[in-house]
Amino acid sequence: MVYLKKIIAPFLFTLLISLGAQAQIYNSEVVAKIDLEDTYNRLTITGTALNRTEINQSLRYDLTVFKGDKGSTNKSKNSQNGRFVLAPGQQKNLSVTSINKDEKERIIILLLIYNSEDALIGKDRIVINADENGDIEKIVLQKKTDTTSASLDQQYENADGLVLRGIVVEDTKTKLGSDFYKMFYLEYLQNNINGREIVTIKEVLAIGNNTKIEIYVGDSIVAEFIVRPQNDYLIEMRNQALVRVHRYLLDLERNGSRTKSY
């Protein structure tokens, strides 16, 4: 028994270090940052990126703003996206948008940056007027800060501490793909799934002139199907995908609980 403890203890220590390192991979190479300016109930949102590496980075971004009253499923979403290149050490403004701000309205701002292999490498998220019963802190608006300041690591350590919940990202190429995303996202909200992992609806080219929908939870694909124009077919695929996504998220929650208990 003593011998086993000597073997298991170093293994667990290595595993915990490995898991901790994986949790901090975002913003290590390219830093995603959301800057806010609040003027007379108008909120100006600027998404920025900073290249911390010594090489050019070919990237793409998604800047999404979710708005909706607390406790309501009536929400709006505005997204901006594009591709860009960052030279070593370069910082660039990616997108600027302005919205009306209401003291009672919940606003979620999410900036995601992907590399040339479409892997998520940078993220920032701000929640304004978070639910009182939620597990996300209310963010106090501050003046713009220099992203190259000495407190940068601490800023993003805190940002990573915010749990990403209920986020469904669209990466479609056709109207049918976009229609499926809207159907899925609406049902996802109405079922209050509110998963911790980001769900991505991705449309890719398939055999012939067809396209295929791939549904990811985090980096794992949980469902896929060939797109067809029949509405009944898309509804059935949506229902099946929701079941698989929900089951996968529940498994992640259970596994996380087991790990914490252990």
Residue at a domain's end among 110, 128, 162: 162
Q: What is the rounded CA–CA span in Å between residue 97 and residue 78?
A: 10
* Domain contains 14: no
Identify the pLDDT of residue 10: 47
Residue 91 shares a structural domain with residue 183: no
Residue 49 shares a structural domain with residue 79: yes
- Which tokens belong to 244? 């698989």
Give φ, ψ of 66 to 5 degrees.
-105, 135
The contacts found for 172-177 with CB under 8 angstroms, 24 or more apart, are 172/201, 172/202, 172/203, 172/213, 173/203, 173/204, 173/205, 173/211, 174/203, 174/211, 174/227, 176/211, 176/227, 176/229, 176/234, 177/201, 177/203, 177/211, 177/213, 177/227
77: number of Cβ within 10 Å: 14
* Domain contains 185: yes
Predicted confidence band at 128 (pLDDT cuts at 50, 70, 90)? confident
Residue 141 shares a structural domain with residue 242: no
Residue 206 shares a structural domain with residue 88: no
* Domain contains 38: yes
Predicted confidence band at 108 (pLDDT cuts at 50, 70, 90)? confident
Residue 192 shares a structural domain with residue 144: no
State the DSSP code for 191: T
* Domain contains 4: no
Residue 133 shares a structural domain with residue 199: no
The amino acid sitting at 92 is K
Domain count, the chain: 2
Residue 40 shares a structural domain with residue 109: yes
Identify the pLDDT of residue 207: 84
Residue 205, H or E segment: strand 199-205
* Domain contains 16: no
Task: Work out the end-to-end distance of the chain between its first and last CA atoms, rounded to an integer number of angstroms.
Answer: 18
Residue at a domain's end among 95, 127, 162: 162
* Domain contains 15: no
Q: Average pLDDT of 109-130?
A: 87
* Domain contains 8: no
Q: Considering the entire predicted model, what is its pTM? A: 0.48
pLDDT tens figures, 25-84: 788 889 999 998 887 778 889 999 998 888 999 999 999 888 776 555 556 778 888 899
Residue 156 shares a structural domain with residue 174: no
Residue 184 structural domain: 165-262
Residue at a domain's end among 162, 191, 217: 162
* Domain contains 99: yes
pLDDT tens figures, 221-240: 999 999 999 999 999 999 99
